[in-house]
Amino acid sequence: MRVHDSLIDLVGDTPLVRLRKVTEGLAPTILAKVEYFNPGGSVKDRIALRMVEAAEKSGELQPGGTIVEPTSGNTGIGLALVAQEKGYRCVFVCPDKVGPDKLSVLRAYGAEVVVCPTTVAPEHPESYYSVSDRLAREIPGAWKPNQYENENNPESHYHSTGPEIWDQTEGRITHFVAGIGTGGTISGTGRYLKEASEGRVQIVGADPEGSVYSGGTGRPYLVEGVGEDIWPGTYDTAICDEIVAVSDKDSFLMTRRLAKEEGLLVGGSCGLAVEAALRVAETAGPDDVIVVLLPDGGRGYLGKIFNDEWMADYGFLSAETEEATAGQVL
């Protein structure tokens, strides 16, 4: 029988799909690495698996232990899947800008979820960083993967995402574009691609306007999972050849186009990354092959990005926007 004994065996090996509509008029080949094909629905399954297995090997995570982590949801889903398989308890700490659907998903997988305010500074005792530190100290047998500092986060991409993209493009990739949250994806994948191509592949970070990576102060933005107000240890500050800052509005409008025109129902950080990739493509040549990584699916954002009222409330849809009238019966 052709069966898999565990969902964990299905982590990675995600497809590379050509973008054809949103790229019209642009010369290069633009390919999307679609990470929602992972069993937990996001790129974060990769790091969850590697971080847990490394902690088991080092003895930091013992049988019956508890995984405590601040996560915007996707890392939580990955960790919850791996934890379920291996018999660990999970407690996740999330900022309150995370959509309610994402929190329900974590709880559905059997995890406990603590929600903290987004607007407080990282050092504030109620910040999601502080609360997760306290819980990791107080719960017996707790282990905090700390995706912002854990070297197995970028390592997982160095050993999986990077080689997959190199093989799938038969070494023809010229640019790799990805959002930066912890920086694990871009640092690990970028390092592999730089090594494999002897420095030829250009690494482009996509960052929400206001985040520190593109020179901001951490001003709140609405795209989830990317951008930071602190500098995490998992981000290799030398890896990017270029960083493109994209507004919430441009990120979300592109996210909606990906669903409508490419059939890709994906999250807001995907729209952000594709928008950055298209800007790179404007000055790239016909032989260039741009790979853009799409971290997760769009179901967790139905009440926000894919909701016209929510978009209009933030001024992301205007009367002139074709989208604003698309649903009206004329």
Using the structure block, give the residue that is written with the tokens 């849809």: 317
Q: Which residue is nearest to ligand PMP (CB)?
A: 225
For 247, counting Cβ atoms within 10 Å of its Cβ (0-12 exposed, 13-18 middle, 19+ buried), the class is middle
From 21, 33, 44, 249, active-site residue: 44
- The dihedral over CA atoms of 14, 16, 17, 23, expressed in degrees to the nearest 10, equals 130
Nearer to ligand PMP, 77 or 83 (CB): 77
318 backbone dihedrals φ, ψ, rounded to 5°: -115, 165
Nearer to ligand PMP, 65 or 183 (CB): 183
Within residues 287-316, the interface with ligand PMP by CB under 6 A covers 295-296
| Closest to 221 measured CA to CA, from 246, 242, 204, 243 | 246
Query: At closest approach, how far in Å is the CB of 285 from ligand PMP?
Result: 28
Within residues 181-240, the interface with ligand PMP by CB under 6 A covers 181-185, 224-226
- In the chain, DSSP assigns E strands to 16-18, 29-34, 66-70, 89-95, 112-116, 142-143, 175-179, 202-208, 242-246, 289-294
Nearer to ligand PMP, 65 or 181 (CB): 181
CB contact set of 298 (below 8 Å; sequence gap of 6+) = 255, 259, 265, 266, 267, 270, 305, 306
- Position among 14, 23, 72, 127 found at the interface with ligand PMP (CB under 6 A): 72
Q: Interface with ligand PMP includes 267 (CB under 6 A)?
A: yes
> How many residues are recorded in the chain?
330
Nearer to ligand PMP, 174 or 251 (CB): 251
Within residues 99-158, the interface with ligand PMP by CB under 6 A covers none
**Contact flags string 25-44 toward ligand PMP, x per CB under 6 A:** -------------------x
Query: At closest approach, how far in Å is the CB of 35 from ligand PMP?
Result: 9
Q: Give the active site residues.
A: 44
Chain positions contacting ligand PMP, by CB under 6 A:
44, 72, 74, 179-185, 224-226, 267, 269, 295-296
